[in-house]
A and B are shown apart, each in its own frame.
Chain A
Amino acid sequence: MLVPYEWLKEFVPGLPPADEVARVLTMAGVAVEALTGEGEDAVFDFEITHNRPDLLNVFGLAREAAAVFSLPLRHPELAVPEEGGAAEGMASVEIAAPGLCRRYIARIVTDVKIGPSPGWMQARLASSGVRPINNIVDVTNYVMLEVGQPLHAFDLDLVGGRRIVVRRAAPGESITTIDGEQRRLSEDMLVIADADRPVAVAGVMGGLETEVSERTKAVLLESANFDGVSVWRTSRALRMRTEASSRFSRGLWPENARIGVDRAAALIAAIGAGKIALGMLDAYPGREAPVYVTLRPRRVNHLLGTNIPAEEMKDILMRLGFIIESKDGDAYRVLVPDHRRDVSREEDLVEEIARLHGYDRIEATLPEGAPPEVRLDPARQVASRAGEILRACGLSEVETITFTNFEACRELRLPEDEVERRAVKISNPLSSDYTMMRTTLLTSLLDVLKRNAARREDDVAIYEIARVYLRREREDAPGSARGDSLPGSGSACEDLLPCEPTKIGLAVMGRIAEPSWERGAADAGFFDLKGIVETLLEGLGVRGARFVAASHPSLHPGRTARVVVAGDGDGSDGDIGDIGFLGELHPDVREALGLRKRACVAELDLASILAARDPVPRVKPLARFPAVTRDMAIVVRRDVASAEVRDEIAAAGADLVEDVRLFDVYEGPQVPEGHRSLAFSITYRSPERTLTDEEVEKAHRAISAALTEKLGATVRE
């Protein structure tokens, strides 16, 4: 809010120079965002906090500055030179909706001479950012800026029946406001009506038909107090934010209506814009009881950690217009001034005392006593470790926007009915790009690949550990979202919230390592990403993860795997669960995204990893006896999974097989059509003794026989 320094100084003549005013008021909580101009021509731009509508005007700021600087305050001239007939006989005012209008004052101005307002008034309006219009309208704007009371001037001769009724709009009513827009009104909106029709939207904007014009001879000057919540809702519904509506929304006090109307009348008379009729029409059904707050100086010091004397506290409050009425023991009864509707309990006084005493004078301390024990969340620790492993594998961390849209899901060929069913949709989205929360990290990670590819960056290896958002379905156990696991939030409403599982997402496009002059560099493929996933799972203490051929709408049908792992190890047979998937991007999806190089992605569920972790890993004793390593090459049908062969080797070798490592896969002329050769290196070892050649040979032959019998394999010599 722009306020000229000289206007402020009119009310507080002793004010120090503008830059000091700016500095001191800012440190007292009245923030000056900018100071422009020099000396007496300086203009402040105040940023007024939401709790202080009383500061949205020059006089309110002057009152605050006088309190802060302990300077005397001058009040605006409110004496009204009344003449002619009584207002009573010239119009009537009725409040039909007293819940929404605490007070409505009307003064009548006769013998109106519309013309420009005086230069000094125009100058102050201009430096406050308001365009001058004519003397009557300028006075209403000037008074709003000066004392914070929105006013409206009606052409009295155009007000039907010279009658003002403050009521809710009737069904189907509408009004053309002074900006020329036709507004449809609803029954929860408060209007100012004449005998026939609405003539203003209360507290928001006046009507075009009763607007003051060149021809106006008499004016009805409105100064009212409307319910802030009602004005706020109406201005939102009509999408009209005006100076008046924002002031009413933030809360005005009924006593200010009297100050506003008298100040306006005094100015109209002073500048010769009209004559002020005797008295006023004052409907005041909402007179408020005075507000008292208890002040206990001990408690103030207890909360602030200070030793401010009670006398200083009283002095501060009195400077701010509070009245110390009485004392009961250690407690004072403090009367809150009308304009401080934000103060309703003792803590509010604590802030008043603290800010005028000076926050900078309060000593900085640390909380007493030993800090409480810190509880570590295993999920956070695992996530942090996962990040370390993935960075060591060459993947960079990304932090993506959690929104997506249907089109992006369609691009990834995600099934529409599932997206529709599970996605959390935003009812007031900002743009068509961000209409819902993501259901998978794929949308976000592939968006990163797409953006980078568009910038000719074709080698991208990334990961993100973040949440996806899934609308709760009946089978989802309540409390499966991380945030829900907090105790004590057990309201039934929690069911309205989606699940927010944390996922580990990986995406690799092109090369992972920098190309080397010595060794060149190949683009990463399925097995590079699988290797990273294996490294990750092992590093997190998940043993026995298995990869099973699978399908996923976004992925290559022959290069997709589910990652399956033994569950929490409680021994039950069905204790196997999916912890995620990985695969190469489907070429159609890759083309749709404009990626030039192949890309592989994976998504793993953090909670499942946590459940599958070896809970208490222990160091194994080092082997005391030597190992024997023997190779075995077999030819099997192409559709026999290598994992199946490996498992068979481990099973047939009984306790002597320590490790089975695949080191070669061959398909070609020397192998029959539809078959392939797999070469394994098998490590035999006993924890109890050195194995003899005979024992190893026997085990090796048993394995060979089992592979032949169970998998139809031919063992190559």
Chain B
Amino acid sequence: MRDDVEKIISQAAAEVSAASSLAELDEVRVRYLGKKGRITAALRSLGACPPEERPALGKLLNEARESVEAMLTRRRDEVAALERAKALEAERVDVTLPGTRPPVGARHPIRMVYEELEEIFGRMGFEVAEGPEVELDYYNFEALNVPKNHPSRDIQDTFYISDEVVLRTHTTCVDVRVMKGRKPPVRAIIPGKVYRSDASDPSHLPVFHQLDGFAVDEGITFGDLKGTLARFAREFFGADTKVRFRPSYFPFTEPSAEMDVSCVICHGRGCRVCKNTGWLEILGSGLFHPKVLEAVGYDPEKVSGLAFGMGADRIAMLKYGIDDIRLLAENDMRFNRQFLHINPAHIVHASREG
């Protein structure tokens, strides 16, 4: 009987390891441990044995059952792993096939520039203000020290709606509107569309974008103007950006200055974009002309203000290497979609070899 048991175990072991599927394993289990299985049958026939052998034989058979069960369990895990592996193998994909992308829309570069400018100036305490694009002649010109019927109007070619109403030629008119309703200190930037009757060409559009800004308070100095704008230039164009201020003329500022930044393309070594000067003209600025402060009811003896205005299109063109302003208004999807891959964190320009 003892020999029989060992034989059963060794046969079971052989069958377990021969089983290659969960179904076959189950058959083996039934054959040995099922109701009519061989070990079950042997246990049941224990009563026919002499009483003194029963305990030892019973123990032996129980051990045999546990051993077969253990073998089955071990083998079941093996077979399950094999079957899972087979199933997974059947599901293998070509990982180089293209992914299914959810549709994502791109930002327009002008908006990216505005957003970045709003963040930079926002950190310096400038709020965002807006005003009408169809504007009174008064705000666009007269309040900014450009009298009616005066030759200084030749500086800008203006679209007129009527004698009193124009399409604003700059966002500076909103400076006046904002100051008129407030007491200093005020710091604001004004993004928006502006209009000049210039025919379209690679660097002109009749509708383009500006960002004006100003800070009025007691004791605002020309040095503050320089410091504020130099900080903007470094944050926007990169920490190693240099700036220089050149005297200029705007009717609404005195003193007036134009700010150049070191060329973002060639880093000051000279290239086509900076016309070999190493500098790029970026914005006009100055301290508010006392007549402007008087027009909004401020006392120029007490209050002074720094003011600046820049073309957002030009800045977008420099930052993103765009060589024709018309691309910004055409909305050719082959152009617009490229801005899915370009964001303000990039300083996108040609290499230093440019």
Contacts and interface: CB of A to CB of B under 8 A. Distances in A.
Interface of A: 26-29, 31, 49-52, 228-229, 232-233, 249-251, 302-306, 345, 347-348, 350-351, 354-355, 359-360, 362-377, 380, 384, 387, 390-403, 424-431, 434, 437, 448, 451-452, 455, 457, 460-463, 467, 469, 481-484, 486-489, 491, 493-494, 496-498, 500, 512-514, 516-519
11 contacts: A51-B249, A302-B219, A302-B221, A367-B219, A399-B111, A448-B331, A455-B332, A457-B333, A484-B132, A486-B129, A489-B180
A397 B103 contact: no
B220 interface: yes
B100 A518 contact: yes
A467 B334 CA distance: 25
Nearest to B286: A351
A347 B136 contact: no
A50 B331 contact: no
Contacts of A498: 134
A306 B221 CA distance: 9
B226 A362 contact: yes
A426 B165 CA distance: 10
Nearest to A368: B219
Given A29-B247, A396-B333, 12 more contacts: A351-B256, A387-B111, A396-B337, A397-B106, A427-B162, A428-B197, A430-B159, A430-B199, A451-B332, A455-B332, A482-B132, A489-B139
A392 B154 CA distance: 46
A425 B159 CA distance: 10
Contacts of A387: 107, 111
B154 A249 contact: yes
Interface stretch (B14-22, B44-52, B73-81, B119-127): B119-127
B221 A303 contact: yes
A429 B304 CA distance: 38
Interface in B177-214: 177-178, 180-182, 185-187, 193, 197-199, 205-207, 209
Contacts of A481: 132
A399 B246 contact: no
The DSSP consensus for interface residues of chain B is mixed
B108 interface: yes
B55 interface: no
Contact of A489 (B177, B219, B248): B177
Nearest to A248: B151
Contact of B108 (A355, A363, A397, A516): A397
Which 9 A/B pairs are nearest by Cβ-Cβ distance? A371-B125, A394-B103, A29-B247, A305-B221, A488-B181, A305-B223, A483-B132, A351-B255, A49-B249
Interface stretch (B27-35, B60-68, B84-92, B227-235): B227-235
Contacts of A494: 136
Contacts of A362: 222-223, 226, 245
Nearest to B228: A366
Contacts of B98: 516-517
B161 A424 contact: yes
Contact of B128 (A304, A305, A380): A380
B172 to A, nearest CB: 14
B285 to A, nearest CB: 11
Interface residues of B, number: 98
B178 A486 contact: yes
B160 A50 contact: no
B267 interface: no
Contacts, number: 284
Interface string B307-334: 0000000000000000000001111111
A347 B111 CA distance: 37
Interface core residue of B108, B185, B219, B333 (most chain A CB under 10 Å): B333
Contact of B132 (A51, A461, A497, A519): A497
A306 B223 contact: yes
Contacts of B129: 486
Given A398-B331, A399-B328, A303 B136 contact: no
B39 interface: no
Given A359-B257, A463-B105, A372 B185 contact: yes
A368 B187 CA distance: 13
B167 interface: yes
Contacts of A469: 133-134
Nearest to A465: B111
B336 interface: yes
A514 B220 CA distance: 54
Contacts of A229: 149-151
A351 B287 CA distance: 10
A373 B251 CA distance: 30
Nearest to A519: B100
A50 B223 contact: no
Contacts of B220: 367
B130 interface: yes
A65 B155 CA distance: 25
The DSSP consensus for interface residues of chain A is loop
A396 B108 CA distance: 8
B24 interface: no
Contact of B289 (A347, A434, A512): A347
Contacts of A351: 247, 254-256
Given A374-B127, A394-B104, A426-B161, A347 B255 contact: yes
A496 B165 contact: yes
B97 interface: yes
Nearest to B97: A517
A372 B125 contact: yes
B151 A249 contact: yes
A371 B228 CA distance: 12
A304 B222 contact: yes
Nearest to B122: A374
B224 interface: yes
B39 to A, nearest CB: 48
Contacts of A27: 244, 246-247
Contact of A393 (B105, B111, B231): B105
A375 B107 CA distance: 25
Nearest to B291: A345
A414 to B, nearest CB: 20
Contact of B228 (A228, A367, A460): A367
A628 to B, nearest CB: 33
B151 A430 contact: no
Nearest to B138: A493
B154 A28 contact: no
A483 B149 contact: no
B80 to A, nearest CB: 30
B168 to A, nearest CB: 10
A371 B209 CA distance: 26
A232 B287 CA distance: 29
A402 B207 contact: yes
A228 to B, nearest CB: 6
A497 B223 contact: no
A50 B111 contact: no
Nearest to B163: A427
Contacts of B187: 371-372
B122 A403 contact: no
A374 B164 CA distance: 33
B331 A348 contact: no
A100 to B, nearest CB: 14
A304 B254 contact: no
A392 B104 contact: yes
A232 B151 contact: yes
A514 B161 contact: no
A500 B108 CA distance: 22
A495 to B, nearest CB: 10
Given A362-B222, A369-B217, A493-B138, A50 B249 contact: yes
B138 to A, nearest CB: 7
Contacts of A375: 127
B101 interface: yes
B152 interface: yes
A350 B257 CA distance: 13
B131 interface: yes
B97 A457 contact: no
A232 B330 contact: no
A681 to B, nearest CB: 25
